[in-house]
Amino acid sequence: MLISKSEAKRFLFQPYEVCPCESGEKYKFCCYKKSKSVSKKDLNYTPGRIIFEAQKIFRETDFNTCYSFDNKECSHNIIGAHSLQNNGVLDKIATDNHVYNLAFEINKNLPTLKFDKVGKNQASRFNGFCKHHDKAYFSSIEDIAYVGSKEQHFWFAFRAFCFELHRKERLSRHFPKVFRKHPHATKETKILINYTSCKLDLKDKKYEYGRFKEIYETDSYDKLETFQRELPFRVGFTGTTAVAVNVDITGEETINIYNYDENLFIPSLYISVIPRESTSLIIVTRHIDDKCYERLIEKLKQTTDDELLFKYISFCLGEYSENVYFSPTIIDNLSSSEKDIIISAFGSSLNVDPEKRFESLIKGFQLNLFNLTIE
């Protein structure tokens, strides 16, 4: 999102607020003061070094927790839980036990994405559940055949949500570390916008967690509404995410996701694409209180245009999600231009130049991941 200089002022840290590096001091006497002593030479980092340092700091923010609703039963044996089932989903697209995801790289001095091969045992892992709750909660979607029940849809949505919650909490730990190491970053507009967005996203996610807990404890799974479609073929990718989506399948706005009003709640939509032996599932869920998505789900249910549906789900994953994995066999057989469409669609948010951002968005609307099929 591009904003004017006058709009950017609203994101600036105020002199006497607590410094965002979490030192406990006031900003004026902490990072603001330190940033004034930084020379232009110190700021002359190459894009590659900036990406490397950012990724290193982010890795340091990983933490163990259990997002269970009942801590009394928690085994505290935190495992690397999968947001996408290792055996049953990832193995359906893996080649020699590996899958592709999209990772950052620098190309022609600009940030972009590349296909990066990772072991399926490591793909989509996050330290968000103990061994006991990972088994107890998700057995209904891992050990029991999918029948489209409201309870199953709840667990698909909750697992997608927890992956994103863990990531947001890591980002909230990431920014103070960045500010401590690079005080001048507290003056960079793009960083400030991302910092503000992270804080607001985390606030919304914590509210959503409370709603999931209420549904679980009261057995009120009908508080979720789901669109689901079974496809008669196996797709060569998989993804699950919990994100705010600002347009529906016809291009009508759902909610302004770029509104930074602290009093506004921006809810998530829960999206999963699950490959199976010879079929695939599309599952899109909303909480019934989120009226902004009511027409979105209704339109998905009404659409008879598969091509439009596939492009819309592909757009949602490309524009909003980082938790998507691909079959190496399929990706390796794509042409350079076909790979470029996928990379551009998933990397559109990296472009700060308006023209390049627009070009990426156009490619995003062309993307149809459901053409990536496994025979």
Domains in the chain: boundaries:
71-374
> For residue range 19-38, what is the model confidence (pLDDT) as tens digits?
999 999 999 999 999 988 76
The answer on pLDDT for 1 being more than 50 is no
Distances (CA, A) of 131 to 79, 128, 267: 6, 10, 29
- 243 pLDDT higher than 80: yes
Q: State the chain's maximal CA–CA distance in angstroms.
A: 63
pLDDT tens for 77-105 read 888 888 888 778 999 999 999 999 998 87
Q: Read off the DSSP letter of residue 143.
A: T
| Prediction pTM value | 0.91
Q: Write out the H or E segment, with its range, that includes residue 13.
A: none
Residues written for the chain: 375
The helices-and-strands tally (H runs, E runs) of the chain is 12, 11
CB-CB contact of 224 with 285 (8 Å) = yes
Mean pLDDT of 162-177: 95
Q: Rounded CA gap, 70 and 163, in Å? A: 18
Q: Is 15 helix (H, G, I), strand (E, B) or coil?
A: coil
Mean pLDDT of all residues belonging to the chain: 88
**DSSP H helical segments within the chain, as ranges?**
5-8, 31-35, 40-43, 47-59, 131-142, 150-181, 189-218, 294-302, 306-320, 328-332, 336-346, 354-366
Distance CA 219, CA 259 (A): 33
In sequence order, the 6+-apart residues with CB closer than 8 A to the CB of 109 are 46, 47
Strands 224-231 and 234-235: unpaired
Rounded to an integer, what distance in angstroms lies between the CA atom of residue 53 and that of residue 41? Answer: 17
| Cα–Cα distance for residue pair 326/179, rounded to 1 Å | 35
Return d(Cα 302, Cα 318) in angstroms, integer: 23
Q: Which two tokens stand for residue 69?
A: 């609703």
Which residue's entry shows tokens 């209704």? 298
